[in-house]
Structure 1
Amino acid sequence: MFFSEDKPAPVRSVSAVGTSEFLNSIGVNSAISSRGEKLEKTIEAIRYTGIRWIRSGYEGDATAGDYKTLNRETGVKYSYGLMSGGADIPRLLKGAHMLAEIGALLAFEGNNEPNNWVINYKGQKSGKNESWVGVAKLQNDLYKAVKADPVLKSYPVWNLTEGGAQTDNVGLQYLIIPAGANTVMPAGTQYADYATCHNYFSHPSHPGLYDNQTWNAADPGRLCKVDGLYGNYGRTWRGKFAGYTEDQLISLPKVTTETGVTIQGDFTEEKQARLYLNLYLAQFKRKWSYTSVYLLRDRSDEDGNQSFGFYQKDYTPRKAAVYLHNLTTILADKGMAKKTGSLAYVIANQPETVHDLLLRNSNGKFQLVIWDEKATGTDQVNVTLGKKYSTVKVYDPTLGESAQQTLKNAGSVTLTLSDHPVVIEL
């Protein structure tokens, strides 16, 4: 990385997003204090990584006290859901009231992957290879129950996951079933405020390591190579039922409650760590409001999920935890920027694997995050700023939390990028 005195290229004004808005999108799956996880270690891990929210539900053995302690010690919030096979809406709302009282509730979530779990709701077996009418009724009843509750009605409801697997066209590819959809459930049925996906960036439908891996998984349209938004809300992957148009999918409110990759083959611990950084950035840039990686700590009770985690079973941090700690420390912001404003800059001849996200910290500093998603090799890019800045700092979260370079009176920065982000602060 070095400062270039070349004449600046034509620049454009780019609107910034508050740094805290991005940081708030960073989530993880955790059982908190059950399934082998220990509350005190979860507290340490959340503090260290800077993760802001946890995907959870009533199926675990974590107590109300555990939820409260973790929130008090870290400020973390929770999406709270029915999870795998759950159908007890009153129980879910009871736990949600507890979380709302302490300011820790983020959102509700419907069932986890009904294609893998049979749901028994009001005497009707549903999900997997059965009719999905029961699943649909459960999700609709959850939505109505939340919105009828005077305390909880302001919280968003996230849809169930893998609606693309519905066997009959119950309309789960919509948040609200539109007129003329010809679905089993009637037009006007509302399921959720947000679409929800498990868009794992390495998937049997497109395995291996490739350029723009997390960027592609976050693609809202049919270009997505994995189990993404289009296959669940555009044209369902199982029954090929029509849903939203690609133009509608771009602006559809959406969240990811599971994604990640195990360490194997080309996906080394180092590569996993870099991909997880790219993942959070790509998802946010492509308008996913929240993203949760599976998992915080490797499961000790689930075969096949032994290397997804930021932490090993004994809580040894993987590089993914270290690099995320560095990134959230570099960007650290507990406030909200009063005015995000805009910054003039241009990345000349920007390669298709290079992406940028402009943030503004509540301290007024701009933080321009630029990342490359090349599977192998490097790109050299020049970032031309709209004017010269007295001090420009360049950070690389794979090398540490301190600035790797400080430039004076700089109007441009040249970067050698490969497969992870750098941060330019000015």
Structure 2
Amino acid sequence: MPPSASVAILASAFINSLGINTHIDFNRYGYQDLAVVEKSLTYLGVPNVRDSSESIADLQSWQAVAQSAGVKFDDFMPEGSPANMQNTLSLVGRLSTAGILNYVEGGNEEDDSYALSMGNGLYYTAYFQQQLYQLSHSLALPVINMSFGAGWTPVNNWQGDYGAVGDLSPYADYGNAHTYPGLGRTPNWTMQRLNGLATLAAKSRPVITTEIGWNEAQGFSQSDVAKSVLNAAFDGWKNGDIKTYFYALYDDGAGRFGLMNQDGTPKPAGTALHNLTALLADTGANGSSFAPGSLQYQLSGAFGEENSILIQKSDGTYWMSIWDEEDGEHPITLTLTSSVSQIQLFDPLTSTNAIQTVSNATALTVDLIDHPLLIHVIPNAPSATAAASALTPAQNVITTLANNSTIASDAGTIGIYVYGSGNVITGGSTTKIIQAFKGGNTIYGGSGAAAIHIAGSNNRIFVGGGFNSVADSGTNNTITFGKGGSGTTAIYGYVLNQGDTFDFSPLLAGTQWTGDPATIGNFLKVTNTESYSIVHVDPSGLASGVTYPVAVLYGYAYLTLPALLAHSAL
């Protein structure tokens, strides 16, 4: 495989995807000592905390922790009675005013036995989700769906209660996955399965893993938990999760899940997460706003289950996470197309010190093991002018972490990089690239020749106004085609095998097609070459009519019209 160029993600965006569950509301298990809690959170270096504020005392404690540790909270409605959920919801306004909330979350596993004994249940919680959504949106706070903890039977194919309440997408901005891998199951396999289940209850929403954890009391060694935490941190990003919250900061009544000891000292998992966030922390003034670059490289020696994510800091250096949860230990070689100042290897499981360094090099061979390694690529020193520009946000590039916002190209904008979800993104005549790293976004390519790169699920992309290209590494996305003759879209990625839908309805609205399925072949046509397939539209539907190419699907050597229509909306 020849070298390919990958656009990096911001290190700050990756760190901002990580979180931890606490139980400050318990006021025991170590949470009664806020100074130790603050110290523990600061050590882990994650900016997001999930908890439930059930009293004024909790509100005051959260404010102290947020100020000391620099975190914001996901406030979930506690497992228990309907009255308890209503009381917790009544405090959301004060928490919002304090500016310490990221999200408000629906009922927490109200299908479990304790909640049922308190008069709660699935259907009340689903109804309550509507009330929570209305209040939260009035405060401009995004909403996470209710979560599920029971209902695991062979009758429903072990999908729990996720499919029991219908689609709550109208009352949630994000789906909710509680992910607890069993012995012998990888984090990646389990996260993908639970992400899929979460969409049963919020079909059109990207997913947040609000809990993922491993109970030492169930046979997981502390070493295994540490490795799994590192794997899950990157699996969450790779799988399109907006956030990944580990369960939990300390051991509690639910089990020995803690990443930290109750005295504030780290377990191996806490050390690993600390090392990861310390290595990838970007302290630059524009660490969350610079336009990331691309790196051309090749990975050789791959067995097939390897994963990699390219990350960049505002100082211009690149970090690559590389991991493989399936294939066992084997060597793999990173080769660059030109020499760099240094290539360093780090193992965040054990240390923040480099374990291997090569200088003035183009390649590094590493032994890939059962958890992520980090490769640090330090480019050659740039000129003074280039160095200065690298530290200044580009005036013609938009980079944002925003969620649920409108992001539009200005005159001269050449690049738009979006790390949030729920956004409406519009390119312009000069836009060369639009990159959306998460799901749930709506993207308009504009009249230029933008390359649109998407990850995650449930994105909707509108093309046809210009000569766009779409590279889709996600799943269950929709590509909508506009008027024929105004542009051709090149599509990369095995989109027909990833649940994507082609929406041809706006395109066909500009033709003479009457909606008769028997005649669709007169208006939509597919031709094939040795390495790609072309979709054409014939506005007249006549054998002698003029056809216009609307899409080129790379990677499909032979595509039939029936196969295309099976993945299409007309």
Q: TM-score, normalised by structure 1?
A: 0.78
1:186 corresponding residue in structure 2: none
Query: SS state of the match for residue 388, structure 1?
Result: strand
In structure 1, what is the Cα distance between the partners aligned to 2:303 and 2:91? 48
1:280 corresponding residue in structure 2: 233
Deviations 1:275-300 (A, max 9, x none): 1111111111110011111110111x
In structure 2, what is the Cα distance between the partners aligned to 1:421 and 1:90? 42
Does 2:266 match 1:324? no
Does 2:133 match 1:143? yes
Query: SS state of the match for residue 212, structure 2?
Result: coil
Query: SS state of the match for residue 241, structure 2?
Result: coil
2:210 corresponding residue in structure 1: 257
Does 2:189 match 1:231? no
- Asked if the contact 1:125–1:134 (Cα under 8 Å) also holds between the matched residues in 2, the reply is no
Please report how far the alpha carbon of residue 344 of structure 1 lies from its aligned counterpart in structure 2 after TM superposition.
1.3
Does 2:188 match 1:215? yes
Please report how far the alpha carbon of residue 86 of structure 1 lies from its aligned counterpart in structure 2 after TM superposition.
5.3
Query: SS state of the match for residue 411, structure 1?
Result: strand
Please report how far the alpha carbon of residue 118 of structure 1 lies from its aligned counterpart in structure 2 after TM superposition.
6.6
In the alignment, which of 63, 75, 79 is matched to residue 84 of structure 1?
79
2:22 corresponding residue in structure 1: 30
- Asked if the contact 1:337–1:364 (Cα under 8 Å) also holds between the matched residues in 2, the reply is no
Does 2:352 match 1:359? no
1:185 corresponding residue in structure 2: none
2:399 corresponding residue in structure 1: none
1:291 corresponding residue in structure 2: 244
2:397 corresponding residue in structure 1: none
Query: How does 1:94-243 map onto structure 2 within 5 Å?
Result: 94-116=90-112, 125-127=119-121, 132-147=122-137, 149=138, 152-153=139-140, 155-162=141-148, 165-166=160-161, 169-171=164-166, 174-176=167-169, 190-202=170-182, 208-210=183-185, 213-219=186-192, 224=193, 228-234=194-200
- Asked if the contact 1:393–1:407 (Cα under 8 Å) also holds between the matched residues in 2, the reply is yes
Please report how far the alpha carbon of residue 389 of structure 1 lies from its aligned counterpart in structure 2 after TM superposition.
0.8
Query: SS state of the match for residue 323, structure 1?
Result: helix
Supply the AA of the counterpart residue of 1:20.
S
In the alignment, which of 248, 253, 260 is matched to residue 311 of structure 1?
260
Identity within the alignment, %: 29
List runs of 5+ in structure 1 lacking aligned partners: 1-8, 177-189, 203-207, 237-242
Supply the AA of the counterpart residue of 1:23.
I
In structure 2, what is the Cα distance between the partners aligned to 1:138 and 1:11? 52
- Asked if the contact 2:179–2:211 (Cα under 8 Å) also holds between the matched residues in 1, the reply is yes
- Asked if the contact 2:180–2:190 (Cα under 8 Å) also holds between the matched residues in 1, the reply is yes
In structure 2, what is the Cα distance between the partners aligned to 1:20 and 1:168? 35
Please report how far the alpha carbon of residue 143 of structure 1 lies from its aligned counterpart in structure 2 after TM superposition.
0.8
Please report how far the alpha carbon of residue 169 of structure 1 lies from its aligned counterpart in structure 2 after TM superposition.
5.0
List runs of 5+ in structure 2 lacking aligned partners: 150-158, 378-570
Query: SS state of the match for residue 311, structure 2?
Result: strand
Please report how far the alpha carbon of residue 406 of structure 1 lies from its aligned counterpart in structure 2 after TM superposition.
2.1
Query: SS state of the match for residue 55, structure 1?
Result: strand
Supply the AA of the counterpart residue of 1:280.
A
Supply the AA of the counterpart residue of 1:412.
A
Supply the AA of the counterpart residue of 2:245.
S
- Asked if the contact 1:118–1:125 (Cα under 8 Å) also holds between the matched residues in 2, the reply is no
Deviations 1:43-62 (A, max 9, x none): 11011111211111124785
Greater C-alpha radius of gyration: 2
- Asked if the contact 2:55–2:91 (Cα under 8 Å) also holds between the matched residues in 1, the reply is no
Query: SS state of the match for residue 79, structure 1?
Result: strand
- Asked if the contact 1:25–1:289 (Cα under 8 Å) also holds between the matched residues in 2, the reply is yes
Does 2:46 match 1:51? yes
Q: Which region of structure 1 is more displaced relative to structure 2, 107-116 or 64-73?
A: 64-73
Shift in CA distance, 70/169, structure 1 to aligned 2, threshold 3 Å:
closer
Query: SS state of the match for residue 399, structure 1?
Result: coil
Q: Which region of structure 1 is more displaced relative to structure 2, 307-316 or 82-91?
A: 82-91
In the alignment, which of 344, 352, 356 is matched to residue 296 of structure 2?
344
Please report how far the alpha carbon of residue 126 of structure 1 lies from its aligned counterpart in structure 2 after TM superposition.
4.6
Supply the AA of the counterpart residue of 1:272.
V
- Asked if the contact 1:52–1:77 (Cα under 8 Å) also holds between the matched residues in 2, the reply is yes
- Asked if the contact 2:80–2:120 (Cα under 8 Å) also holds between the matched residues in 1, the reply is no
In structure 2, what is the Cα distance between the partners aligned to 1:167 and 1:259? 16
Does 2:363 match 1:388? no
In structure 2, what is the Cα distance between the partners aligned to 1:118 and 1:311? 27
2:10 corresponding residue in structure 1: 18
Please report how far the alpha carbon of residue 90 of structure 1 lies from its aligned counterpart in structure 2 after TM superposition.
6.1
If asked which structure has higher relative contact order (CA below 8 Å, sep 6+), I would say 1
Shift in CA distance, 100/93, structure 1 to aligned 2, threshold 3 Å:
same
In structure 2, what is the Cα distance between the partners aligned to 1:298 and 1:61? 25
In structure 2, what is the Cα distance between the partners aligned to 1:393 and 1:133? 53
Q: Which region of structure 1 is more displaced relative to structure 2, 362-371 or 159-168?
A: 159-168
Shift in CA distance, 419/169, structure 1 to aligned 2, threshold 3 Å:
closer
Shift in CA distance, 424/52, structure 1 to aligned 2, threshold 3 Å:
same
Q: How many residues align?
A: 360
Deviations 1:366-388 (A, max 9, x none): 1111122148x412111122322
In structure 2, what is the Cα distance between the partners aligned to 1:133 and 1:382? 53
Structure with the higher fraction of residues in strand conformation: 2
Shift in CA distance, 329/166, structure 1 to aligned 2, threshold 3 Å:
closer
- Asked if the contact 1:119–1:135 (Cα under 8 Å) also holds between the matched residues in 2, the reply is no
